[in-house]
Amino acid sequence: MRRREAPRRRFGDAAHRSSGRLRRRERLTVIANDAVGPYSLIRVERGGLEPGRPGQFFMLEAPGRPLPRAMSLCQAPAGQLTFLLEAVGPGTRALAAVQPGEEIQVFGPLGNGFRLQVERPLLVGGGIGVAPLPYLSQQLGGPPAILGFRSEWHAEAAALVPNAQVVVEPTLVTELLTEGHDVLACGPEPMLEAVRELAPRAQLAWEAPMACGYGACYGCSVEIEGVLQRLCVAGPVLEAA
């Protein structure tokens, strides 16, 4: 985490929190690894894992690396789980290189997802923050979405989310936001802060480095309402109280 004044993240109703009963750890076979612009869409057999709630995450083994990587579930077709990732470091590069037929260990679902009981949902995503939105969109019946990317190449990932308006830098997703919607967003921290300024009651999926995914290591501790909280337990989806 960057050393600066932490944003005032808020968390509210715990009714949408995950149940530990669903957590499982299995070795799953990779079905496909497809390029979506600069991103990798990895499909694995579901095995005995449940997809959980949109916005929850799974810990995926990064072959050859000592620690797994936290990945939001992207899609949940019958018998499969899919994960969209960007190769930005050793762990994600190792995951992006997996081939069909290989096995990786997957643990989840973990954390707290989006609250789905909303009247006028509007999905907002930025960059790789689009990852949990296809599954979220499917669960909400295909609501409108606003997606922002740094280039047209990155914007190829918008094809995964129906009913989406797409903007490319320097245009920002906040330029398209209008009042009267229940905003559910995922993206880089500056985008989430800007969205919260315009939609104070938005549900926001935050990111932090995670080593375990269930609160044992305290590696993802962030300041929430002036108190250090483990984002993997209190989040990753937070909303106004």
DSSP string, 110-145: ESB------SSEEEEEEGGGGTTHHHHHHHHTS--E
Give tens-digit pLDDT for 50-104: 999 999 999 999 999 988 999 999 999 999 999 999 999 999 999 999 999 999 9
Q: What is the pTM of this model?
A: 0.88
Give tens-digit pLDDT for 131-155: 999 999 999 999 999 999 999 999 9
- Identity at 110, one-letter amino acid code: L
Please state the φ and ψ torsions of residue 118, each to the nearest 5 degrees. -130, 150
Residue 225 in this model has a pLDDT that exceeds 70: no
Structure tokens at 194: 């800007």
Count of CB atoms situated within 10 Å of the CB of 110: 24
Instruction: Supply the pLDDT for residue 21.
Output: 54
Bridge partners of residue 146, in order along the sequence = 124, 165
* DSSP secondary structure letter of residue 166: E
**Nearest CA among 125, 146, 141 for reference residue 204:** 125
What domains does the chain contain, in order, with CATH numbers?
24-110 (2.40.30.10)
